[in-house]
Homo-oligomer: A and B are copies of this chain.
Amino acid sequence: LSPYFPPDQPKRFQNVHRLFGVSNILRILKHVDPSKREDTVKSIAYEADTREKDPVHGCLGVITILQNQVSKLKDELAVARDQLYLLQHQTSLLHPQVHTCSLTLSPSRVIDR
């Protein structure tokens, strides 16, 4: 494993070793294409670091926060697009000759939740 764990980052190896154990990491790496082993070690090290910071939730804590953020942003975007649609409609009724915006918008909500 030494090529993947530079000696100036002992904490990295320590966390990974503690969470997964060397034999488990070697087994994961054995089943991965050699060109992907560097990325595999990086993601394993990330998981180990995250588990050290949050022993209860680990990566799932980060994923839950990001999922909530995506959900909130989708809601905000849907509201902004609805308002934009209404305002464009209102402006085009008042001034049919005015080109307010070149966008084609629909009031439909963001669907791909």
A residues in contact (CB < 8 Å) with B:
18-21, 23-24, 27-28, 31-32, 36, 39-40, 42-44, 46-47, 50-51, 55-63, 66-67, 69-70, 73-74, 76-77, 80-81, 83-84, 86-88, 90-91, 94-95, 98, 100-101, 103
Contact = CB atoms under 8 A, between A and B. Distances in A.
A61 B43 contact: yes
Contacts of A55: 28, 31-32, 40
A76 B103 CA distance: 13
Chain B CB count within 10 A is highest, among A31, A43, A62, A73, for A43
Contact of A77 (B44, B73, B100): B73
Given A63-B63, A83-B103, 5 more contacts: A20-B20, A66-B67, A84-B84, A91-B100, A94-B95
